[in-house]
């Protein structure tokens, strides 16, 4: 298909066949999988996936690509959802789904946060993202990349940085390096928050002003007695706190405030 890449849809199409094959190998599609691909584009991943799957769901926003897909793929092999992924109801696909995609980088964080709301129905997710985003996802406390995204994702997901992908693997080449990551939701959360909305609020507040101490960023939420009871030094910063400590703060607030 002749197609001019649309910047507004973050269209950078994968063209390196050996990299595409290594991504498919990492995904290990099984014929019966209930799989959904976000942003199939011109099919770099869709076509090899379809060789191994009985059926694939795809969510694509670009009407030109939708029209081309409708004529290109056999209807019984693929269900095409013409939708903005941020508005798409993953619940319509089924109970135990696998999600893959070379994501539009301009909206990758909102997509990740949306999928976090659906982890109960997700077996695993494999994504191509900006390398810098993947580094933030898997970052350890006290590293420069560690932030709200790391904490919120690590709370629910086990993540594995799989491979770095250079700009030349895409057409047009993006300005940045990319990376492929595997995310597997915990079947049982290792450290559950009693009130997840409150947990999210604590994490947001703490990272709201990254350079400030917890005493400042959590003012109005946690007082000195709380810091003492939790045995957390109020002079520390959010970037030095592990996921379990954020959960401890939010659980303390649930129980004591
Ligand atoms: N999978 C193809 C590949 O690897 O070559 C295309 C990847 S390209 C980086 C991102 C794809 O996501 C494009 O097909 C684009 O049209 C689609 N896309 C962008 N924004 C979207 C949105 N909000 N909802 C669904 N698809 C979107």
Q: What is the pLDDT of residues 184-214, one digit of tens each?
A: 999 999 999 999 999 999 999 999 988 899 9
d(CA 62, CA 3): 11
CATH 3.40.50.150 location in the chain = 7-185
pLDDT over 80 at 257, yes or no:
no
The pLDDT of residue 186 is 97
- Residue whose CA is closest, atom 14 of ligand 1? 41
d(CA 162, CA 182): 7
Print burial letters for 122-147: b (CB count within 10 Å at least 16), e (below 16).
bebbbbbbbbebbbbbbbeeeeebbb
Structure tokens at 153: 């994702």
Mean pLDDT value across the chain: 96
Find out whether the beta carbon of 45 lies less than 6 Å from any atom of ligand 1: yes
The pLDDT of residue 211 is 87
Q: What is the pLDDT of residues 84-115, one digit of tens each?
A: 999 999 999 999 999 999 999 999 999 999 99
CATH 1.10.8.100 location in the chain = 196-256
Find out whether the beta carbon of 40 lies less than 6 Å from any atom of ligand 1: yes
d(CA 169, CA 177): 10
pTM here is 0.95
Find out whether the beta carbon of 154 lies less than 6 Å from any atom of ligand 1: no
CATH code, 196-256: 1.10.8.100
- Residue whose CA is closest, atom 6 of ligand 1? 41
Residue 198: count other Cβ atoms within 10 Å of its Cβ: 17
**Largest Cα–Cα separation, the chain:** 66
Give the atom of ligand 1 at the shortest distance from the alpha carbon of 104. Answer: 10
pLDDT over 90 at 254, yes or no:
yes
Distance of CA 140 to the CA centre of its chain: 17
19 contacts 40 by C-beta, under 8 angstroms: no
Find out whether the beta carbon of 36 lies less than 6 Å from any atom of ligand 1: no
Q: Is the domain defined by 7-185 classed in CATH 3.40.50.10860?
A: no
Q: What does DSSP say about strands 122-130 and 178-185: parallel, antiparallel, or unpaired?
A: antiparallel
């Amino acid at each position: 298909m002749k197609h001019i890449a649309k910047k507004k849809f973050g269209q950078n199409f994968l063209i390196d066949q050996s990299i595409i094959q290594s991504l498919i190998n990492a995904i290990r599609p099984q014929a019966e999988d209930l799989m959904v691909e976000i942003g199939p584009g011109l099919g770099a991943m869709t076509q090899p996936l379809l060789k191994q799957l009985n059926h694939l769901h795809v969510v694509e926003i670009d009407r030109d690509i939708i029209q081309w897909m409708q004529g290109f793929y056999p209807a019984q092999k693929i269900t095409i959802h013409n939708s903005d992924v941020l508005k798409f109801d993953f619940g319509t696909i089924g109970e135990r789904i696998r999600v893959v995609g070379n994501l539009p980088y301009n909206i990758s964080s909102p997509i990740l946060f949306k999928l976090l709301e659906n982890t109960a129905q997700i077996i695993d997710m494999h994504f191509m993202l900006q390398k810098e985003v993947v580094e933030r996802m898997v970052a350890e406390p006290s590293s420069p990349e560690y932030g709200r995204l790391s904490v919120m994702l690590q709370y629910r997901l086990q993540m594995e940085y799989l491979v770095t992908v250079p700009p030349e693997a895409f057409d047009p080449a993006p300005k940045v390096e990319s990376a492929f990551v595997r995310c597997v939701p915990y079947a049982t959360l290792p450290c559950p928050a009693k009130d997840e909305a409150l947990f999210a609020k604590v994490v947001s507040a703490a990272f709201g002003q990254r350079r400030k101490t917890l005493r400042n960023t959590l003012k109005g939420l946690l007082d000195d007695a709380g810091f003492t009871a939790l045995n957390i030094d109020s002079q520390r910063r959010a970037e030095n706190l592990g996921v379990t400590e954020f959960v401890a703060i939010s659980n303390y607030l649930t129980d004591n405030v």
